[in-house]
Amino acid sequence: MGSSPLPVTRTRIARLAAASALLLLTGCAKEGISPQGQEVHRLFVIIMILAAPVFLGVEAVLIWCIVRYRKRDDDPAPQTVGGSRSLVVFFAIPAVIIAVLFPFGEATLMNIERRETPQVQIKVEGFQWEWTFLYLNEGLFVAGKTLVRPAVMVLPVDEPVQIQLVSRDVIHSFFVPDLLFKRDAIPGRTTTFTFTPTQLGTFHGQCAEFCGLWHSRMTFDVKVVAPLDYQAWIKQQRKKAQGITCEPQGTTLSLIAHNISWNQFCLAVPANTPFTVDITNQDVGIQHNFSIYDSFFEKKKYFTSPRITGPDSETLNANPLPPGHYYFQCDVHGPAMSGAFIVK
Amino acid sequence: MAVTQAPTRELTPEPRGRLLVWLTTTDHKKIGILYLVNSFSFFTVGGIFALLMRTELARPGQQLIGAHAYNELFTIHGTLMIFLVIFPILAGLGNYFVPLQIGALDMAFPRINALSFWLLPVGGLTILSGFLAKGGAAACGWTCYAPLNEQLGTGVDLWLAGLILVGTASILGAINFIVTILRMRAPGMTMMRLPVFVWGILATSLLVILATPVFTAGLIMLFADRRLGTSFFDPAHGGVALLWQNVFWFFGHPEVYMLILGAWGVVTEILSVFSGRPIFSYRGVVLSFLMITALSFTVWAHHMFATGAVELPFFSITTELISIPTGVLFFVWLGTLWKGKLRFEVPMLFALGFIALFLIGGIDGVWAASPAMDFAIHDTYWVVAHLHYVLFGGTLFGIMAGMYYWFPKMSGRMLSRKLGQWHFWLQFIGFNVTFFPMHILGLRGMPRRIADYAPDRGWSFLNLVSTIGAFLIAISLLIFFANVLTTLRKPRSAPADPWRANTLEWATSSPPPPHNFDALPAIHSGRPVYDARVAEAGPTDRGSR
Q: Which residue of A has its CA nearest to B287?
A: A87
Q: Do the Cβ atoms of A315 and A239 come closer than 8 Å? A: no
CATH for the stretch A120-243: 2.60.40.420
Contacts of B324 in chain A (CB under 8 A): 91, 94-95, 98
Residues in chain B with CB shorter than 8 Å from the CB of A89 are 331
Cβ atoms < 10 Å from Cβ of B2:
10
Say if residue B18's pLDDT is above 90: no
Output the pLDDT for position A115: 79
Can you list the alpha helix ranges (DSSP code H) found in B25-86? Answer: 28-57, 67-79
Cβ contact (<8 Å) for A94 and B334? no
Cβ-Cβ contacts under 8 Å, B525 against chain A: none
Segment B423-461, tens digit of pLDDT? 999 999 999 999 999 999 999 999 999 999 999 999 999
Q: CB distance B372–A112 less than 8 Å?
A: yes
Contact B121, B39 (CB under 8 A): no
Check if the beta carbon of residue B339 is closer than 8 Å to that of residue B392.
no
When scoring A20, A175, A184 by the number of chain B Cβ atoms within 10 A, the one with the most, hence best to mutate, is: A184
To which H or E segment does residue B203 belong? helix B196-227
Which pLDDT value is given to residue B12?
53
How many angstroms separate the CA atoms of B434 and B466, rounded?
Answer: 4
Domains defined for chain B, CATH in brackets: 24-539 (1.20.210.10)
Q: Chain A residue with minimal CA distance to B368?
A: A44
Question: What tens digit of pLDDT does each residue of A260-288 get?
Answer: 889 988 999 999 999 999 999 999 888 99
User: pLDDT at residue B182 above 90?
Assistant: yes
| Whole-angstrom distance, CA of residue B407 vs CA of residue B409 | 5
Q: What is the pLDDT at residue A18?
A: 63
**pLDDT classification of A113: cutoffs 50, 70, 90:** confident
Write down the pTM of the prediction: 0.92
Looking at residue B446, what is its pLDDT?
96
The predicted model gives A148-154 an average pLDDT of: 95
Are A56 and A15 a contacting pair, CB within 8 Å? yes
Give how far B33 is from chain A: nearest CA, Å.
33
Q: Is the pLDDT of residue B544 over 50?
A: no
Give the pLDDT score at B541.
47
Q: Are strands A252-258 and A275-281 parallel, antiparallel or unpaired?
A: parallel
Inter-chain touch A215–B344, beta carbons under 8 Å: no
- Any CB–CB contact under 8 A between A180 and chain B? yes
Of B308, B367, B445, the CB nearest to A44: B367
Of B353, B431, B425, which is closest to residue A59 (Cα–Cα)? B353
Q: Is the pLDDT of residue B524 over 90?
A: yes
* Residue B11 confidence (pLDDT) above 60: no
Q: State mean pLDDT over B33-51.
A: 97
pLDDT of residue A344: 86
pLDDT value at residue A250: 85
DSSP conformation letters of B490-502: SPP---S-TT---
**Judged by CB atoms within 8 Å, which residues 305-324 of B form the interface with A?**
306-309, 312-313, 316-317, 320-321, 323-324
Residues 6+ apart with CB under 8 A from B232: B221, B222, B224, B225, B239, B240, B243, B244
Closest CA to B385 of A219, A43, A28, A160: A28
* CB A154, CB A233: distance < 8 Å: yes
Give yes or no for residue A121 having a pLDDT over 60.
Answer: yes
* CA-CA-CA-CA torsion sign (B409, B410, B413, B414): negative
Q: In this structure, what are the phi and psi dihedrals at residue A38, rounded to the nearest 5 degrees?
A: -65, -35
Is A186–B335 a contact, with Cβ atoms under 8 angstroms apart?
no
- The residues, ordered by sequence, that sit 6+ positions from A96 with a Cβ below 8 Å of its Cβ are none
pLDDT value at residue B536 = 85
pLDDT at residue B6 is higher than 70: no
The residues of chain A that CATH labels 2.60.40.420 are: 120-243, 252-343
Listed in sequence order, the residues at least 6 apart from B210 whose beta carbon sits closer than 8 Å to its beta carbon are B254, B297
Residue A17 confidence (pLDDT) above 80? no
pLDDT of residue A310: 84
| Confidence bin at A4 (pLDDT 50/70/90) | very low
Distance from the B493 Cα atom to the nearest Cα atom in chain A, whole angstroms: 24
The pLDDT score that the predictor gives to residue B176 is 97
Give strand pairing partners of A303.
A292
pLDDT of residue A13: 66
User: Which pLDDT score is estimated for A45?
Assistant: 92
- The answer to whether B72 and B136 are in contact (CB under 8 A) is yes
- Compute the nearest-CA separation of A86 from chain B (Å): 9
Tens-place pLDDT, residues B395-405: 999 999 999 99
How far is Cα of residue A212 from the mean position of the Cα atoms in its chain? 15
How wide is the angle at C-alpha B260 spanned by C-alphas B402 and B417, nearest 5°?
20
Burial string for B235-250 (b: 16+ CB within 10 Å, else e) reads beeebbbbebbbbbbb
At residue A184, what is the residue type?
D
Label the pairing between strands A266-269 and A334-343: parallel
Q: Alpha-carbon distance A199 to A157, whole Å?
A: 7
CA B339 to chain CA centroid, nearest Å: 30
- Could you tell me if B160 and B127 are in contact, meaning their C-beta atoms sit under 8 angstroms apart? no
Is-contact B44 B93, C-beta < 8 A?
no
Q: In the prediction, which pLDDT does B506 show?
A: 96
DSSP 8-class letter at B12: P
Residues with Cβ within 8 Å of residue B24, at least 6 apart in sequence: B15, B114
Give B272-295 as a DSSP string.
HHHHTS--TTHHHHHHHHHHHHHH
pLDDT in tens, B333-343: 999 999 999 99
Q: Does A90 touch chain B (CB under 8 A)?
A: yes
Cβ within 8 Å of A, B 443-472: 443-445, 447-454, 457
Residues of B in contact with A147 (CB under 8 A): none
- Tell which residue, B171, B218, B73, has the closest CA to residue B131: B73
Tell whether A237 is within 8 A of chain B (Cβ): no
Predicted pLDDT of residue B542: 46
Q: Between vectors from CA B141 to CA B135 and to CA B143, what angle results, nearest 5°?
A: 125
**What does CATH list as the number for A252-343?**
2.60.40.420
Exposure letters B489-519 (e unless 16+ CB within 10 A, then b): eeeeebebbbbebbbbbbbbbbbbeebbbee
Chain A residues with beta carbon closer than 8 angstroms to that of B339? 69, 77-78, 80
Query: Given a cut of 50, is residue A255 above it in pLDDT?
Result: yes
Q: How many CB pairs under 8 A join A and B?
A: 265
pLDDT digits (tens, 9 = 90+) for B94-145: 999 999 999 999 999 999 999 999 999 999 999 999 999 988 999 999 999 9
